[in-house]
Amino acid sequence: MRSLLHPAAKPVVFVLCLLPLAALVYGAATDTLGANPAEALIRSLGDWTLRLLCGTLAVTPLRQATGWHALARFRRLLGLFTFFYGVLHLLAYAWFDMGFYLDEIVRDIAKRPFILVGFAALLLMLPLAATSFNRAIKALGATRWQTLHRLVYAVAGLGLLHFFWMRAGKNDQAEVAVYAAVLGALLGWRVLRRLRSRAPKLQRA
């Protein structure tokens, strides 16, 4: 699609990625986030982190399926917004739940497994965000950069586990099942693609 190559395409995607945050800020300012606005902010930011992660992982399969190769232009932007919302999710938890008391945050992370795995997922996203720029790709080399960015699979698994444990206490797994199906399909597609690419090499050997 030619529209994907338009100079305005990236700014449009950038603005679209900011809309959820704008809606949450507006909701907080107008007191329309429900009875527990702090919890609504924390959970919504986490939800959008997971949604953007799904969107980032969907770029390559969609590009292959549709032939719209220009979709690759947006993968880096979506990945950085995934990290951005993940950081906001952590900051909201640290502020509203823990009052930015570092010692209490550390104890809470160690005590509650679902927070620990969520924190681990964010830590794994840090090197991905830090090396998402062209200079980093050149410095690492394509092979090492690709190997490093396979950490996204671990991020997806930990993020899903974080979401599952968070919802398990309230016996609300319907949305978890949706994310599990989406991420399973996206990661399964990559596994199958890699196995198919290795098959000719094994046959020649």
Q: Which of 46, 76, 45 is nearest to 161 (CA)?
A: 46
What is the pTM (predicted TM-score) of this model? 0.92
Would the pLDDT of 205 be above 60? Answer: no
**Overall domain count for the chain:** 1
Confidence of residue 200 (pLDDT cuts 50, 70, 90): low
Is residue 56 within a helix (H) or strand (E), and if so which, with residue range?
Answer: helix 37-66
Q: What is the pLDDT of residue 199?
A: 59
CB atoms inside a 10 Å sphere around CB 55: 20
Q: What is the pLDDT of residue 201?
A: 56
Q: What is the pLDDT of residue 144?
A: 92
CB atoms inside a 10 Å sphere around CB 68: 15
Look up residue 36 and give its DSSP letter. -
CA 60 – CA 62 distance, rounded (Å): 5
Say if residue 177 is exposed, middle or buried (CB neighbours under 10 Å; 0-12, 13-18, 19+): exposed
Cα Rg, the chain, nearest whole Å: 19
Q: Which residue has the higher pLDDT, 4 or 96?
A: 96
What would the two tokens of residue 181 be?
Answer: 């199906």
CA 89 – CA 21 distance, rounded (Å): 11
pLDDT digits (tens, 9 = 90+) for 112-143: 999 999 999 999 999 999 999 989 989 999 89
CA 170 – CA 167 distance, rounded (Å): 6
**Domain region containing 56:** 2-204
